[in-house]
Chains A and B, each alone.
Chain A
Amino acid sequence: MSNDIFVVTECLDGKVSDISYEMVGKAKELAAASGGQAVAVMLGSDMAEQAGTFASDATIYVDDPALAHFNPEAYGKVVEALAAARSPRLTMFGSTSMGMDMAAWLSVKAERPLIAYVNSLSAEGDELVATSQVYAGKMAAECVPEGESAIVTVLAGAFSVEAGQGGMAVEQIAAPVPLDGLKTRFVEMIMPAAGDIDITAQEKLVAVGRGIGSEDNVELAEELAEALDAAVAASRPITDAGWLPKTRQVGKSGLAVKPKLYLMLGISGAPEHLEGMKDSSLIIAINTDENAPIFDVAHYGTTEDLFDVAEAMLELLE
């Protein structure tokens, strides 16, 4: 077993995801404490340039046409082979659409313990301590993996992006396992429908969540947005229900926004939503549940009824 820490990085549509840098930064800190190296691992095809953007101690870039797009079968095999050959003490994945497909699979295949939903990692002597945000963030579980080698999936936004950005020499290698005969085939990437407004470019957003209650009530949010010269955004339940187009969804599977004003109507603040808006300059949350996690993130809040507040605001603005 080596003292190295593997970070399985990700690229989406040719761009390195922030979570990759966040993990590399943390891996560097942990590796420095344990006398190992933080090793960024990137899989792709013709992506050597992106592979050279990490502040890791070493970067392995596996280049193969079969790795051009994320394919859990191909990616899993490659990561499994690399981990077997180099025996990292810890392998980090993002708690993302890509990372979640690989981490638990590798845990069973390589018989290494896994801790999921991690937002804090530290070394206590030889022990690794990871805190998992379970029960949708309602509980923090402090865990120690057994054995010499472990796997974690890391929540987006837990660590600094800047600490992982840099430029290191890249060791480019061919796939360490044959990648023919795959049962999984990537067909195409479907981009979000164009034509709607781009919520990531808006200075002011009025965001609606489950608390808005019904499709008819979305109109009130639209009126308020118009009066504030803002656009309407939404949490996942609203776009899933079809009350607003998918292009308005903020969060993990939607868009990340950073407006100057994020006014929230009836959004409790699930981790998936917070991931997409927590960096907004001014967050005001209206939610009747005083224990809603959103009040830990918002700058201002109220538990008054959202309809009463929105109507009163409309009157004052007119």
Chain B
Amino acid sequence: MNIVVAIKHIPSLADELEVNDEGTNLDYDMVDFVLNEFDEQAIEQAVLVKEASGGAVTVVGVDVIEELDGVLHTALAKGADKAVKIVGDLEPGIDSHTHARWLADAIKEMDADIILTGVQAADDLDGQIGPMLAAHLDMPYLGVVTGVEVAHRVATLYKEYAGGMMGKYAVSLPLVVGVQAATKPPRYAPISKIRQIAKTAVIEEIEVDDDGPGAAVMLRKMSPPVSTGHANMLPGDAEAVAEKIIAIIKERGLL
């Protein structure tokens, strides 16, 4: 079984985000890039499927700022078998539609049985890549998934809904899955193992050079959201704050 994981390298939310001088996008010089957290779940789910049902895991991503190798080495250390990066004369800010088109073109050559990707990413301004991959590859899609089992060419999937409800689905391979959370928390890859792999691993490269259709969305302005209100911050040390909180609760007749 060919298991493919499509990943996105996106601006890190750990640091304060800054806007460019024109106020139309992020100042990409000021941000670090990290693996989309949901893609980390997708990688874990892919390795779990491989361990349970056999197969090989290929991880593929667009190398937006030429720093994807570390992410791919980590994926290999966690149990992926092959890593592929899409390269070219690229600039940060590549939209989801372009990501999906390039990834789909690469995946078409992989004879994939199941494609896993993060259900969403923080930079998905023009939508999530999972359903787009499904549209390009003419496969069914199911997202917000928290469990995947594969047997006899059928994937059993658990999809989250509001209110703690969970839908169980059976989908014939091949398909695309948008992973919300893997069945188990992502495993840890020791840094020594990642370093070892970095020395020997071969990352396949696919060159892109095109002006195909993108998001077709004009970004007019980007700024931190204007907050409509702010909490009344309670003054004093922990004890004073505790006293005040209890007083407020009592005022409302709740104690």
A108 touches B136 (CB 8 A): yes
Whose C-beta in chain A lies nearest to the C-beta of B249?
A261
Q: How large is the interface on B (under 10, 10 to 19, 20 to 34, 35 or more residues)?
A: 35 or more
Contact A141 B230 (CB under 8 A): no
Cα distance A97–B220 when bound, in Å?
Answer: 28
Q: Are A184 and B225 in contact (CB under 8 A)?
A: no
Contact of B165 among A96, A107, A189, A302 (CB under 8 A): A189
| Cβ-defined contact, A253 with B160, below 8 A | yes
For the complex, is A23 an interface residue (Cβ under 8 Å from B)?
no
> CB of B200 within 8 A of chain A?
no
Q: Report whether A12 and B165 are in contact in the complex, using a CB–CB cutoff of 8 Å.
A: yes
Segment with Cβ contacts to A, from B58-66, B71-79, B123-131: B123-131
CB neighbours of A243 from chain B (8 A): none
| A70: B residues at CB distance < 8 A | 167
Q: Which of B163, B231, B232, B234 contacts A255 (CB 8 A)?
A: B163
Establish whether residues B164 and A192, one from each chain, have CB atoms under 8 Å apart when the complex forms.
yes
B140 and A183 contact, CB distance less than 8 A: yes
Contact call B254/A104, Cβ cutoff below 8 A: no
- Tell whether, in the assembled complex, residue B127 and residue A138 are in contact, meaning their CB atoms are under 8 Å apart: no
The answer to the question of A115 belonging to the interface, with a C-beta cut-off of 8 Å to chain B, is: yes
Contacts of A71 in B (CB 8 A): 169
Known: A134-B122, A192-B163, A295-B231. A104 touches B129 (CB 8 A): yes
**B237-255 interface bits toward A, Cβ cutoff 8 Å, 1 = contact, 0 = none:** 1110111111011001011
Question: In the complex, how many angstroms separate the beta carbon of B243 from the nearest chain A beta carbon?
Answer: 6
Residues of chain A within 8 A of B127, CB atoms compared: 103-104, 107, 114-116, 153
Determine how close the nearest CB of chain A comes to the CB of B39; give it in whole angstroms: 15
Q: Give A101-113 as 1s and 0s: 1 = Cβ < 8 Å from B's Cβ atoms.
A: 1111101110101
Which residues of A have CB within 8 Å of B216?
A: 113, 145-147
Question: Judging by beta carbons under 8 Å apart, are B246 and A316 in contact?
Answer: yes
- Contact across chains for A300 and B245 when beta carbons are under 8 A apart: yes
Determine whether B26 belongs to the interface, using a CB cutoff of 8 Å to chain A: yes
CA distance A102 to B131 in the complex (A): 7
- For B159, B185, B244, which residue has the most chain A Cβ atoms within 10 angstroms? B159
* Cβ < 8 Å to B, chain A residues 111-168: 111, 113-117, 129, 132-147, 153
On whether the beta carbons of B123 and A107 are closer than 8 Å, the reply is: no
Stretch at the interface among B43-51, B170-178, B191-199, B202-210: B170-178
Residues on B with C-beta less than 8 A from A105 are 131-132, 134-135, 141
B161 interface contact, C-beta 8 A: yes
- What 1/0 mask marks residues of chain B from 118 to 161 whose CB sits below 8 Å from any chain A CB? 01101111111111101110001111100000000000101111
Nearest residue, chain B, Cβ from A73: B140
A1 contacts partner chain B, Cβ-Cβ < 8 Å: no
Chain A residues closer than 8 Å to B232, beta-carbon distance: 299-301
A139 touches which of B26, B170, B180 (Cβ 8 Å): B26
- Give residues of chain B (206-231) contacting chain A, Cβ–Cβ below 8 Å: 213, 215-231
A140-B129 contact in complex given A73-B140, A190-B165, C-beta closer than 8 Å: no
B241: chain A residues at CB < 8 Å are 286, 302, 304, 309, 312
The answer to the question of A305 belonging to the interface, with a C-beta cut-off of 8 Å to chain B, is: yes
The 8 closest A-B pairs by CB, nearest first: A192-B164, A301-B231, A308-B238, A312-B242, A104-B127, A108-B135, A105-B131, A104-B131
- 26 A-B pairs with CB atoms under 8 Å apart are A13-B165, A71-B169, A97-B159, A97-B160, A100-B143, A103-B131, A104-B127, A104-B128, A108-B97, A113-B217, A133-B225, A134-B123, A145-B217, A184-B171, A186-B167, A186-B169, A188-B167, A189-B168, A192-B163, A249-B164, A253-B144, A286-B241, A299-B232, A301-B233, A303-B233, A317-B246
18 other contacts beyond A115-B127, A133-B225, with CB at 8 A cut-off?
Answer: A12-B163, A17-B162, A97-B143, A97-B160, A100-B128, A100-B178, A103-B131, A116-B126, A135-B11, A139-B26, A187-B167, A228-B255, A229-B255, A294-B231, A302-B233, A304-B237, A312-B242, A316-B243
Q: Which residues of B contact A (CB under 8 A)?
A: 11, 13, 17, 19, 26, 96-97, 100, 119-120, 122-132, 134-136, 140-144, 156, 158-172, 175, 178, 180-181, 185, 213, 215-234, 237-239, 241-246, 248-249, 252, 254-255
Identify the A interface with B (CB < 8 A): 12-13, 17, 69-73, 96-98, 100-105, 107-109, 111, 113-117, 129, 132-147, 153, 182-192, 203-204, 228-229, 240-241, 246-247, 249, 252-256, 260-261, 263, 281-286, 294-305, 308-313, 315-317
